[in-house]
Structure 1
């Protein structure tokens, strides 16, 4: 199973829970960059090669193919 290049589930949750109005500009930029990288890594990995946690995260956060 490969989660290489994927954003950690705890980071996804923290980012989703914290309102955008409370995020600094660097936090907004970090979210954009890491979200794009995570989406690209998720799309480049078949579901058979994803861990259960990443499959669940992709479903919950809408990053599936």
Structure 2
């Protein structure tokens, strides 16, 4: 189960185990858009306002993103604020 406006964990799991080679272009594009929307929601909603399952899923996803892409641990919202000079860090 997922929080309102979020991608369901079972959908994420199915997308992850299905090889890209067996997905249509339309499916790949759809996944890219829904993944991006989910990452934005993940970064803007505080963990204490999420269901337990969604919070655990988000923490795992953030950890995986940091491993794969490197990162500071900041949310997308924090990074945007800092880039615009509106955050605590400059």
**Using a 3 Å threshold, how does the CA distance of structure 1 residues 54 and 31 change in structure 2: closer, same or farther?**
same
Gaps in structure 1 of 5+ consecutive residues: none
Gaps in structure 2 of 5+ consecutive residues: 64-74, 76-90
Cα offset for 1:63? Answer: 3.7
Greater relative CO, 1 or 2 (CA 8 Å, sep 6+): 1
Is residue 18 from structure 1 mapped to residue 18 from structure 2 by the alignment?
A: yes
Q: Once superposed, what is the RMSD of the aligned Cα atoms?
A: 1.8
Rg larger in 1 or in 2? 2
| Number of matched pairs | 63
Q: Deviation digits for residues 5-56 of structure 1, max 9, x if unmatched?
A: 1101111000001011111101100110000000011111001001111112
